[in-house]
Structure 1
């Protein structure tokens, strides 16, 4: 049988039965425990070496559990002295560890041990670290992203002419979230011409995103809307409905690789000049959002040889449209 630690309720019974004069053997029999377990429990947790109190016994136990398996990092005085000296010289734990591995392997310690030495045993040394964080940031184990969006086509399968921006009709979509964390803007940018469509969304749900994209891109000729590239946000789960409505192909960036749709990310930065972070879009008139869209589309771009997105798009479309 595997051993189990005494619980708080068992300690309560031990205290009560001790007060009634029961022996260790009798208490052990009632708890289905060895009498030696009861003896050790009482001897370990006597208050001032004389009295067994329930609260103090539980606190002693919890303190032992908290401090169990604690070990000193950087055990030898030589290693500690070396690490402290180099930290004060501005060396990072990674550099110190690598240096020891190459030139003094017998005293080698990994950089993680040095970080633990700093944050657990010598917190005053946090001043020697580059970021000088008083508390260490939590590290979470790597988890494979869950497949939230069905039937994704990775961006690695996107045709070469789309990547090189040689053809027109390939768009990128993204969402700018408002300061109220509810409203937002859907931003769609054509990769070749940089033509930008901005739509206000009262909420950033997948259904609202789908409606905004279909409504805006349906106004363009079919041959100028052939693909859309998204990130992996939950607002893009209805991409197949958009594909069916617009007869387009969808592509998705790799997880945490939003830079792979750099056109819309760059435009988002321009939009933030007008609507800084924290802006509540529900309080912004739609006319103001439309004004910003026109300003961006009439803004000359170096990548377009200083022509505007409107000029390049109109040329591609073959007709003057606003």
Structure 2
């Protein structure tokens, strides 16, 4: 919750990360939060007031017109195990990875989208960690990418990525999910995120980072000579393989 996750998101994520263990409903999380509050609306002795992390705060838990015990939703995600083998070989352009970088200073986040062969790195801005903002960021950054170069997208199991079916349909791309807590299959993106931290170190408030700042960082990363490309930049490799120029 400190990271801005809602009880609903926490409930879903627990089922993804711990599928063999008994889950907990978001209603139970809400009840726990408000169990720490007395009748006057103040925290009980030695209890933490977790209401500060809720988007909508109330003195007491609002009554709901549904049963307390509900069957938990456990989404079935397309596994990286079923991803085409050509993705690992890094020979065919058009296979992407994405990730999300969180700011502890605000709800704003960065969505990074990386092409595996060229190393082309795109950076988008998210107002929060919602599914809608995640999809919007990818769609916005992909506007400059022709459809034939959007073959697959590999991502982690973050709650913000659970709107994958809508994104698949919108962009006509196949989406796969890496194993929980494992960056295998998304190594390029992990490395790119590390480079971003050179310009935006931990502790940076992303709400104060402008679109111009992001584009500048994106350009610096994409115009940086790469050893694996024998000194060529991601922009040069991308253009040579696709004929599509990315301009800033």
Q: How big is the shift at 1:148?
A: 6.5
| Higher relative contact order (CA closer than 8 Å, sequence separation 6+) | 2
Q: How big is the shift at 1:228?
A: 0.4
Q: What is the DSSP-based 3-state SS (H/G/I as helix, E as strand, rest coil) of the residue aligned with 1:218?
A: helix
Counterparts of residues 3-18 of structure 1 (less than 5 Å): none
The superposition leaves residues 260-281 of structure 1 with CA deviations (integer Å, 9 ceiling, x where unpaired) of: 3111000000000110111101
Q: How big is the shift at 1:149?
A: 6.8
Name the TM-score, length of structure 2 as normaliser: 0.69
Q: In the alignment, which residue of structure 1 is the partner of 2:84?
A: 159
The superposition leaves residues 148-187 of structure 1 with CA deviations (integer Å, 9 ceiling, x where unpaired) of: 7734111111111111111100100000001325111000
More helix by share: 1
1:288 maps onto 2:163 in alignment: no
The superposition leaves residues 199-256 of structure 1 with CA deviations (integer Å, 9 ceiling, x where unpaired) of: 1112121110001111211321111111100100001011111100110000100111
Counterparts of residues 105-116 of structure 1 (less than 5 Å): none
Q: In the alignment, which residue of structure 2 is the partner of 1:224?
A: 149
Q: What is the DSSP-based 3-state SS (H/G/I as helix, E as strand, rest coil) of the residue aligned with 1:299?
A: coil
Q: In the alignment, which residue of structure 2 is the partner of 1:251?
A: 176
Q: In the alignment, which residue of structure 2 is the partner of 1:301?
A: 226
Counterparts of residues 127-146 of structure 1 (less than 5 Å): 143-144=18-19
C-alpha separation in 1, matches of 2:98 and 2:222: 16
Q: In the alignment, which residue of structure 2 is the partner of 1:185?
A: 110
8 Å Cα contact 2:96/2:154 also seen in 1: yes
The number of residues matched between the two structures is 181
Q: What is the DSSP-based 3-state SS (H/G/I as helix, E as strand, rest coil) of the residue aligned with 1:188?
A: strand
Q: In the alignment, which residue of structure 2 is the partner of 1:35?
A: none
Q: Which runs of 5 or more structure 2 residues have no equivalent in the other structure? A: 1-16, 24-71
8 Å Cα contact 2:154/2:185 also seen in 1: no
Q: Which runs of 5 or more structure 1 residues have no equivalent in the other structure? A: 1-141
* Change over 3 Å in CA distance of 1:143–1:220 after alignment to 2: closer
C-alpha separation in 1, matches of 2:184 and 2:236: 26
Q: How big is the shift at 1:320?
A: 3.4
Name the TM-score, length of structure 1 as normaliser: 0.54
Cα RMSD after superposing both structures: 1.8
1:261 maps onto 2:136 in alignment: no
Q: What is the DSSP-based 3-state SS (H/G/I as helix, E as strand, rest coil) of the residue aligned with 2:144?
A: coil
8 Å Cα contact 1:149/1:232 also seen in 2: no
Q: What is the DSSP-based 3-state SS (H/G/I as helix, E as strand, rest coil) of the residue aligned with 1:185?
A: strand
Q: How big is the shift at 1:143?
A: 4.2
Q: In the alignment, which residue of structure 1 is the partner of 2:133?
A: 208
In our comparison, the structure showing a higher alpha carbon Rg is: 1
Q: What is the DSSP-based 3-state SS (H/G/I as helix, E as strand, rest coil) of the residue aligned with 1:174?
A: strand
Q: Following superposition, which runs of at least 4 residues in structure 1 exceed 6 angstroms of deviation?
A: 145-149
8 Å Cα contact 1:187/1:196 also seen in 2: yes
Q: How big is the shift at 1:285?
A: 1.8
8 Å Cα contact 1:148/1:237 also seen in 2: no
C-alpha separation in 1, matches of 2:74 and 2:203: 28
8 Å Cα contact 1:171/1:190 also seen in 2: yes
Q: What is the DSSP-based 3-state SS (H/G/I as helix, E as strand, rest coil) of the residue aligned with 1:260?
A: coil
